[in-house]
Structure 1
């Protein structure tokens, strides 16, 4: 640790700065009070274009971007570039889906995707399953952010799990105090630091390593000596389908995550969302440069530090690259950029998961008469518990590449697509079919993930998301993203279940939305508030979330 005093001081000062900003954020764009989910959990639904730009950018480009993707490039090569088409594809999907969700949500005062499922399909059970899935899928994503902080601190000689708990305490405190306003304000600092660090890195480091030609040559040489099939600077016949399906599946999963929806619903208007979705792909250029840090680490001869289990921790290669190539003071700035880049999305994720519990579990099943202040209090407390759950995910799963944490969550959250994504366009699917399909997709996803080993770590189960099609009895080395296989099971069961439910005369749930709700804007008045009817009863009109 004594060799990293300068880095520790710079890192600590910047980390302290954003922590103070997190607490000050409660007074930024101050409302009369924060005792409601609209204010604490959605920032008053009033963020304009610039705030939304930094908030959603800080929400989507996380420690997963700065640590896990270069680590995957360092360990596996070209597969790590799946994040590029993934982030390109996601924005058109957001136009198709989240604009409609924003409109119907502001029209009916909805806070979560499960709120939408409740008023659209008239099923408490389906909304409950969507809420639980969202919470569970978010846990490993938050864990990924904390892993990023741990990797930076380990590089500075600070070992053990205690840094995770320290980061948890800071994050929990200012999230509890200021809600969504805290990450929205901190995102300004986070994005500016990241842009500065990455631009300087791609201009400063390659000449020191002999140029890009030498960097790619070093990567080629390393992967030529790697026995693992599929590793290399180019894709091969065995992993091309995995690359395509992983990029597509990850893009679909992203707009279903509670934190993505939370950041979007905080926007002031439909026009705000349109402007941001048109401009945010600029971040994808930055992402490509970040991914190449993995190849720079290979050329620089970086060796991953050992983790708590004594095995190499690939997540440390980027912090070590900064340590070896930058002056001490700037390495500290780079470490702070990664650490702050973890805090912003982790805060939004914990808020999104907490809102799901409060609205769709606590209020729905335990306190139907809960007022806005009670809802806000419960969400604050649950946001703390969610972070504890994320720490437990780190300790229990301990994956070789921290990106596996996000991939596991992606397989789960994908299964909410028929209920949420399809539901924004059609009511053809029966609520009983949707429940059956969601359960089938979740079961299939977990079974597939359980049966995927990781030869690099010796793990027999939950070793990644690349499912070998040979396990289906096919004579092939091709692998495919497990999430899309599970989603296919989900859709088939949903469609068959719908046909069977209608054939049996099962009663449809009541749709409390109107066609015009999906195109309404900020100037349109909210729908009249009425209580949602009990399942199986007739009802018309708009509704407040029960």
Structure 2
């Protein structure tokens, strides 16, 4: 399907970023729903969320409210980004930032932040695949690297080839299969599995008993801070952690370049609004999926790595053929977002680094070739990243990616509504937020590593934990707001805004907004 996608809705040529990197900017509501859903709900989502609950951390449920909160935010600001991007031909969020603030350094900062945050995100798709392969029995023999890693090389070779040839059309088409399989697997699981263990009431009773036993057996370690108490509901001290993770993750989600890429590929503003109303169906699915972590406890699943809990649950409780379908769904669920992420990263490199600094006169065809090559390098880099470093490092670095990408919110989201912030104040806020957020994250230890051990820190002088990204964003905004009047008073040049107010409400058919490309006519 990935290779066949090059002929789907085909234009005369894929040798430009609008076609290769944005699928012709012509996807409607139905296609966009699968594409954006496949982009957001990755393989690692389906592994990590129930694994967190299996490990006894009710804070893991934050993923459910955050994917609910995010859609009203999408409804508000992404139609404006779509309009100004289509009016001016912007391909990346950094393109918009450069046009709005007349600042190449700020656009470069946004582009580099996007690349930095996306790389470990792609790598985590491999982690999700590895977990499935380990449960199947492939990759457990660490003495034979060829057997252990060959499936990943094969999967990413195919991924690289069809992404190169088909661009964004490939993950858009494959997303139909991925999402259909995921829905079937999860719905069957939440209907069938509870009936095997006495219903949901019995499952929750078993989980509560299991957590109470763990807390009693490890009371001394918990008191010494060497172990974390387990609970179905977050303790009072974790309320701010839960809330700040949910809100911060919601604000960050559509700052990621791959999320913006999916949105800019749509036909008109109404497609985005309708998807904002329809995408919460995935949140319902995610809530059901999260509960499988508790089902695994009730089923007596015993694994050293909590990420293996749901795959092992399917392996234990379902016939081999259905377990195979479930594993295939998770692996395909890695390939779809990995393709979109690599395309988004390639677009950032090509538009905001290669064209901006290395080849300002690059033709559309040359930009497309550059993006295709960089998409290969990005995937290869992610593969090396996972194989050379520990999984825990990759996971925690992705959490740090959320801290980084949220620092682009003032430049992008506030910029969609007002040009009051001075461009150098926004740049200074970004730099301070990045530096402080990274420093805070560096100081967080975990049982497996001394630094970058998690996304939470204590508020000064309290035992209350909050999401690092929100603290860094608060400082970012404070610096930008305070410096703006100072810089204006000092007469520092603020550049020229290359957008106009009506750009932010333009829709298909308005002047300067290109009609959907006709696949037949090219």
TM-score normalized by the length of structure 1: 0.88
Residue-pair matches, total: 495
Aligned to 1:233: 232
1:168-183 aligned at under 5 Å gives the runs: 168-183=156-171
Quote the Cα distance in structure 2 between the aligned partners of 1:167 and 1:273: 31
2:53, 2:290 within 8 Å by CA — same for their partners in 1?
A: yes
Shift of the alpha carbon at 1:269? 0.6
Alignment pair present for 1:478 and 2:464? yes
User: Equivalent residue of 2:407, what SS?
Assistant: helix
Quote the Cα distance in structure 2 between the aligned partners of 1:401 and 1:203: 36
Shift of the alpha carbon at 1:424? 0.3
Alignment pair present for 1:493 and 2:479? yes
2:86, 2:513 within 8 Å by CA — same for their partners in 1?
A: no
Question: Which string of whole-angstrom CA distances, capped at 9 and with x for unpartnered residues, describes residues 178-213 of structure 1?
Answer: 000000000000111001000000011112122212
Question: Which string of whole-angstrom CA distances, capped at 9 and with x for unpartnered residues, describes residues 98-120 of structure 1?
Answer: 11000000000000000000000
Question: Which string of whole-angstrom CA distances, capped at 9 and with x for unpartnered residues, describes residues 211-268 of structure 1?
Answer: 2122222322332314433531111111110000000000000011101100000000
Alignment pair present for 1:354 and 2:346? yes
1:146, 1:167 within 8 Å by CA — same for their partners in 2?
A: no
Shift of the alpha carbon at 1:72? 1.1
User: Equivalent residue of 2:55, what SS?
Assistant: helix
Shift of the alpha carbon at 1:397? 5.3
From 43, 47, 58, the equivalent of 2:27 is 47
User: Equivalent residue of 2:457, what SS?
Assistant: strand
Question: Which string of whole-angstrom CA distances, capped at 9 and with x for unpartnered residues, describes residues 139-195 of structure 1?
Answer: 111111111111111111110344333322121111111000000000000111001
Aligned to 1:543: none
Aligned to 2:283: 284
Aligned to 1:101: 81
Aligned to 1:364: 356
Quote the Cα distance in structure 2 between the aligned partners of 1:43 and 1:193: 24
1:173-212 aligned at under 5 Å gives the runs: 173-212=161-200
Question: Which string of whole-angstrom CA distances, capped at 9 and with x for unpartnered residues, describes residues 445-464 of structure 1?
Answer: 11111111113x3x211111
Alignment pair present for 1:221 and 2:209? yes
Quote the Cα distance in structure 1 between the aligned partners of 2:124 and 2:109: 24
Aligned to 2:142: none
Quote the Cα distance in structure 2 between the aligned partners of 1:468 and 1:392: 34
Q: Quick check: 42-51 or 139-148, which moved more? A: 139-148
Shift in alpha-carbon separation, 1:322–1:221, aligned structure 2, 3 A: same
2:386, 2:394 within 8 Å by CA — same for their partners in 1?
A: no
Aligned to 1:146: 126
Aligned to 1:156: 136
Quote the Cα distance in structure 2 between the aligned partners of 1:242 and 1:392: 33
Shift of the alpha carbon at 1:402? 6.9
User: Equivalent residue of 1:22, what SS?
Assistant: coil
1:436-451 aligned at under 5 Å gives the runs: 436-451=428-443
Shift of the alpha carbon at 1:51? 0.5
Aligned to 1:120: 100
1:437, 1:491 within 8 Å by CA — same for their partners in 2?
A: yes
1:121, 1:431 within 8 Å by CA — same for their partners in 2?
A: yes
2:54, 2:297 within 8 Å by CA — same for their partners in 1?
A: yes
2:120, 2:394 within 8 Å by CA — same for their partners in 1?
A: no
Alignment pair present for 1:81 and 2:58? no
1:68, 1:401 within 8 Å by CA — same for their partners in 2?
A: no
Quote the Cα distance in structure 2 between the aligned partners of 1:163 and 1:181: 24
Q: Which runs of 5+ in 1 are unaligned?
A: 1-20, 305-311, 529-546
1:373-392 aligned at under 5 Å gives the runs: 373-392=365-384
Quote the Cα distance in structure 1 between the aligned partners of 2:324 and 2:349: 38
Q: Which runs of 5+ in 2 are unaligned?
A: 140-147, 216-221, 515-522
1:436, 1:493 within 8 Å by CA — same for their partners in 2?
A: yes
2:103, 2:423 within 8 Å by CA — same for their partners in 1?
A: yes
Shift of the alpha carbon at 1:507? 0.4
Aligned to 1:274: 273
Aligned to 1:339: 331
Quote the Cα distance in structure 1 between the aligned partners of 2:230 and 2:107: 41
Shift of the alpha carbon at 1:405? 4.6
User: Equivalent residue of 2:466, what SS?
Assistant: strand
Aligned to 2:519: none
From 416, 427, 432, the equivalent of 2:408 is 416
Quote the Cα distance in structure 2 between the aligned partners of 1:496 and 1:381: 42
TM-score normalized by the length of structure 2: 0.92
RMSD: 1.6
Aligned to 1:10: none
